[in-house]
Structure 1
């Protein structure tokens, strides 16, 4: 199983988020910087509302799949991390919320 990091950006009335920059510049930077350090894949999702139609609490999430917890921790503490974290103001005015943990199970249907 993999180690997962979910980076969630809040969906608040004053949120600014440049999705084009995020997808074309930031995520390729993440892949280039952390790929050699154990990042296996990433996925970005955009949310507008929940199933009941209420506005979503989060606008964008990125799911980063790592080969191990050790690899993720080493990458986040490494020399490339300040470049990645320093790029955040280029696409949003909000600080992300990060959830990390181990994948317990999955199934493709």
Structure 2
């Protein structure tokens, strides 16, 4: 199993609409990814450890797939639509993508 994570860096005075991301953008991706998608979640950054410190990432979105190929098979056809939706929830541009192998899952 692989996890595709999209990491959106924290920016002082940056705009990120968490409600839109969770209620509109992520469900749109889920719909487009269909049966290939094994699960998804959203992490909202709180801090970097010390009290009052800003988080390194404001939001991280996660998607689970059986393989990298399964991800690309559904992402490529939906990419223009999903990337085009980014300005609706952030002024920070595309996030950083990390594709990782999941070794342990609860």
TM-score (norm 1): 0.87
Compared CA separation, residues 91 and 6, structure 1 to 2 (3 A) = same
Shift of 1:35: 2.0
Partner of 1:89: 87
Q: Measure, in 2, the Cα distance between the counterparts of 1:11 and 1:45.
A: 13
Compared CA separation, residues 101 and 107, structure 1 to 2 (3 A) = closer
Q: What's the CA shift string for 1:72-101, capped at 9, x where partnerless? A: 1222222x2211111111100112111012
Partner of 1:51: 49
Moved over 3 A (4+): none
Q: How many residues align?
A: 104
Partner of 2:64: 65
Partner of 1:40: 38
Q: How does 1:98-109 map to 2 (within 5 A)?
A: 98-103=97-102, 105-106=103-104, 108=106
- Measured on the aligned residues, the alpha-carbon RMSD in Å equals 1.4
Q: What's the CA shift string for 1:13-64, capped at 9, x where partnerless? A: 131011111111111101000123x111110011121222332110000111
User: Per the alignment, in what secondary structure is the counterpart of residue 34 of structure 1?
Assistant: helix
Unaligned runs of 5+ in 2: none
TM-score (norm 2): 0.89
